[in-house]
Amino acid sequence: MKPDYKNWVPNGMVYGFLGATGGALILTLIFGVEGIVGKVLLVITIVLALMTLWMFLMHRAFSYNGSRQMSKQIIDGVSAYVKIPDGGKGLDVGCGSGALTIACAKKNPNAQMVGIDRWGKEYASFSKTLCESNAEAEGAANVSFGQGDATKLGFEDETFDAVTSNYVYHNIPSRDRQAILLETLRTLKKGGTFVIHDIMSKSKYGDIESFAKKLKDMGYEDVRLVDTTSGMFMNKFEATWMGLSGSTILMGKK
């Protein structure tokens, strides 16, 4: 039995754009390109075709079965920073298919990992059942999964010895993603570690460097921002065409 972590760009998303491109092309052929309607349809067809190509290339790069395997590289890289004391407990926010939760559990076999997600329709192929199946396939018995909301976590203050997340918060519609970070950090015990990887560009997070300084002023220790687009997980060119510019790990200790 092998784990199935799916793809961060789901098949349905690629096929959806492919189908839309095909439909637009058929309409373009029907109307022709002489009139205004035909010209508009042609432009729409070209745009959809480019989007489909972009989706396909992203899907190939993130595939666990392909040669690039960027998602596996990122999961392995982020989990390497997650340290949980024996008997402790860690939280993974937005666990998806369970990849990061399970990787952290395997690197900390004497601790427990909890993965939460809302498993929305945008990623219908991800589910609690899939996470549990992947954990079983990986032989990770020290994990559990449940429904959760990153903007309002159902845990008391200082519950976990480590908190982590990977490419989650930028997907949440919000004017203040720094507040989401603080909600996650609220559940971290004194002395616990945090490792959060996301697209922390100014347009999505505001001034993340000022936020890191704010955490230090609040008493957090060893707060660091690690750029993951300069060869760590990807190069600048990949980050640009994939829309991942600004990918950064925010890490430290409470």
Residue pLDDT, tens place only, 40-69: 999 999 999 999 999 999 999 999 988 999
CB 195 within 8 A of CB 249: yes
Q: What is the pLDDT of residue 46?
A: 97
Query: How many residues belong to the chain?
Result: 254
Per mean pLDDT, which range of 30-39, 76-85, 99-108 is the poorest? 30-39
Is the entire prediction scored with pTM above 0.85?
A: yes
Q: Which two tokens stand for residue 28?
A: 């373009």
Bridge partners of 35, per DSSP, are: none
Percent of the chain surpassing pLDDT 70: 100
Beta pairing, strands 143-147 & 247-253: unpaired
CATH architecture assigned to 70-253: 3-Layer(aba) Sandwich (3.40)
Check whether 225 has a pLDDT greater than 90: yes
The CA distances from residue 18 to 23, 42, 45, 241, 242, in Å, are 9, 15, 10, 19, 18
pLDDT digits (tens, 9 = 90+) for 102-145: 999 999 999 999 999 999 877 778 999 999 999 999 999 999 99
Give me the residue label for tokens 């921002």. 225
Extents of the domains making up the chain: 11-62, 70-253
221 falls in which pLDDT band (50, 70, 90)? very high
Q: Which two tokens stand for residue 172?
A: 């949440």
**Average pLDDT of 86-114?**
98
